[in-house]
Structure 1
Amino acid sequence: MRIISGQFKGRKLQAPKHLPVRPTTDMAKEALFNILNNTYYFDELSVLDLFAGTGNISFEFASRGTTQITAVDAHYGCIKFINQTAESFGMNIHTVKSDVFKFLTQSHGKHTIIFADPPYDFPQESFNKIPQLVFENDLLEDNGYVIVEHSKHTNLSALENFSHAKNYGGCVFSFFEK
């Protein structure tokens, strides 16, 4: 995986092989960030990266100038890799080792972008729970998006606050807003 744009453009990141992750493909990530680039100034964002895994999405935001980034993952190895990589690049990424659903029920801060990349084999109820908890706990700023990455076999369009979806190969980004 690589950083697509910004200060660290072209830097390749090699995560340890033993991490239980499926990083967002470069093609899908580039398409997502092109959408966001037309809507936001990255240096003004507050980002919450759920199921952060390798930190791929967090690093892309940081490379583009975002300084308020929180990455949440339950796996110690993922958090360790994100911390080490962020430190080596001088990036300001706050990490939290936690179950995402527990974090969402206990969190109090608001974010402009809440990105979630859960395992593609999650049950439908678990996917549904992500935007539900965000809106129940008022974690999204008024002009923000909740973006859930999932496979084309999962459909989130019937959920409350669903806005639209973008398909990139086998990857789908579902957008939710107030």
Structure 2
Amino acid sequence: MRIISGEFKGRRITAPKKLPIRPTTDMAKESLFNIINNQYYFEDVSVLDLFSGSGNISYEFASRGTENITAVDANFGCIKFINETAESFDMQIQTIKSDVFKFLEKSRTKATIIFADPPYDFPVEEFSKIPELVFKNDLLEVDGLLIVEHSKHTDLSHLINYSHSKSYGGNMFSFFKGETSDEEE
């Protein structure tokens, strides 16, 4: 995998083969970050990277100037790899080793962008817990965005606060929106 843009553009990151990961493809990641770039200033957002795996998405945000990044994964090897990689690039990425669902149940930290990349073979019921917990516990900032990556064979359009989906090859991103600043006026 490589970093697409920003300070570390073009840098390759090679995760150990033993990690249980499926990094987001470069094509899908580039498309996703083009969408995000049209809505936010990377320096101004806070990011929660759930099921962070290799840290691929966290590194991309950090390379683009985001300083408030939290990566959550249950696998110790993934957390260790993210810590080592972030340190080698001098990136500010906080890591938390936790089951994502337990983390979402207990966390009270809000983020502008919450990105979740659970295993593609999750049943829809497991996918549905992500927006359910994010919105129930008010973890998304006003005008924030929850993005869930999944297989094109999984339909999340029936879930709470679903906005739309974008497909890139076999990858799909579903976008969920909560409260907007327009609603406060």
The normalised TM-score by structure 1 is 0.99
Partner residue in 1 for 2:168: 168
Secondary structure in 1 matching 2:72 = strand
Partner residue in 2 for 1:158: 158
Identity of matched residues, %? 73
Partner residue in 2 for 1:142: 142
1:142 Cα offset (Å): 1.0
CA distance in 2, matches of 1:10, 1:138: 36
Secondary structure in 2 matching 1:95 = strand
Partner residue in 1 for 2:51: 51
Secondary structure in 2 matching 1:72 = strand
CA distance in 2, matches of 1:76, 1:159: 30
Aligned length: 178
Secondary structure in 1 matching 2:150 = strand
Secondary structure in 2 matching 1:71 = strand
Structure 1 segments unaligned to the other structure (5+ residues): none
- RMSD of the alignment, in Å? 0.4
Equivalent residues in 2 for 1:107-146, closer than 5 Å = 107-146=107-146
Residue 127 of structure 2 aligns with an amino acid whose one-letter code is: F
The answer to whether the aligner puts 1:78 opposite 2:78 as a matched pair is yes
1:160 Cα offset (Å): 1.4
1:43 Cα offset (Å): 0.3
The normalised TM-score by structure 2 is 0.96
Secondary structure in 2 matching 1:174 = strand
Deviations 1:105-146 (A, max 9, x none): 000111000000000001110001001100000000111100
